Amino acid sequence: MRTLRIDGLAAAGMRFMQFYAGAPVCAPSRSSLLTGQHTGHTYIRGNKEIEPEGQEPLADSIYTLAQLLQQAGYVTGAFGKWGLGMVGTSGDPNKKGFDEFYGYNCQRQAHSYYPTHLWHNQQRVELNGNSPGHRGIYAPDLIQQQALSFIEKNKQKPFFLFVPISCQL
């Protein structure tokens, strides 16, 4: 099957033909990527839910690639799915090296392209018109717009952009 736009992107950019996922589920895989730790050593070992919203947070003692790059002078942004600690916890993306976060803080929310809300740093962004059975605002479009805005704002500076996309079940 030909995919003209994707084929065009591949021809114009770099292709990564081999890859490794740190774990078979998403939170430990992202934790492994951001900490550089093997799945057997990373703090997050599963998609452990915390009520009312979120997953087990990365501990204060855990250092991430984003923190390293931020300390080296990079502007850092995460846009998409987080699931490594709710706003205000030790795993809050803004506490783990990201200057800007926009997206799903909770993996459970990320299982819908039409969630009731997203997060922009510490601010809950209500998506009016989205509720179970009602599809009003397509969240991936909003996330993409925010990521593109981050690139535009920071194109003259060194930046690190982390875009973990979500898959609907």
Q: What are the tens digits of pLDDT across the range 37-57?
A: 988 888 888 888 888 888 899
Asked, for residue 64, whether it belongs to a domain, the answer is: yes
pLDDT at residue 132 above 90? Answer: no
Asked, for residue 16, whether it belongs to a domain, the answer is: no
Instruction: Measure CA 85 to chain center.
Output: 11
Asked, for residue 14, whether it belongs to a domain, the answer is: no
pLDDT at residue 106 above 60? Answer: yes
Nearest-angstrom CA–CA distance, 44 and 78: 18
Total domains in the chain come to 1
Asked, for residue 12, whether it belongs to a domain, the answer is: no
Give me the domain span that covers residue 88: 50-162
Distant-in-sequence, close-in-space partners of 148: CB < 8 Å, separation ≥ 6: none
Nearest-angstrom CA–CA distance, 74 and 54: 27
pLDDT at residue 13 above 80? Answer: yes
Asked, for residue 139, whether it belongs to a domain, the answer is: yes
Nearest-angstrom CA–CA distance, 116 and 124: 10
